[in-house]
Amino acid sequence: MHWRNSKPDWNQGQTMQQIEVAVTQCLVDNEHSRSVPGLVLECQQCGHTVDVFGTGTASARRGAVKLKDECPDAPGQYFYVVD
C-alpha cells in the first residue's frame, strides 16, 4: 500500500468525522506499578477508553491519538476532539 493512498483525498471533499471524548483526571499505574497523575479518555460513540500519563494539553492530545489508533469503531478514520 502506498502512503498517498492511505490518506483521505482532501481535494474531493472527504472530511473526517469529529467525535467528542470525555476526559477525566485520575491516577494511572505506570510500568513500575506506581500511581501517577494521568487522564482517561473515553470515546462518546462506543465507550472505548485509553489512559495516558500527565494531565496537560499535550497528554490530552496524546490520548486522542491513542483513541484514533485503538478505538474499534474508528479504524483510523476519525479525528477525536478533546474539550
Which of the four pLDDT bands, split at 50, 70 and 90, describes residue 5?
Answer: very low
**Residue type at 77 in one-letter notation:** Q
Calpha distance 22→3 (Å, rounded): 31
**Domains of the chain: which residue ranges?**
15-82
Question: For residue range 24-51, what is the model confidence (pLDDT) as tens digits?
Answer: 999 999 999 999 999 999 988 888 999 9
Between residues 15 and 65, the one the model is more confident about: 65
Q: How far is CA 2 from the centre of its chain?
A: 24
Calpha distance 22→58 (Å, rounded): 16
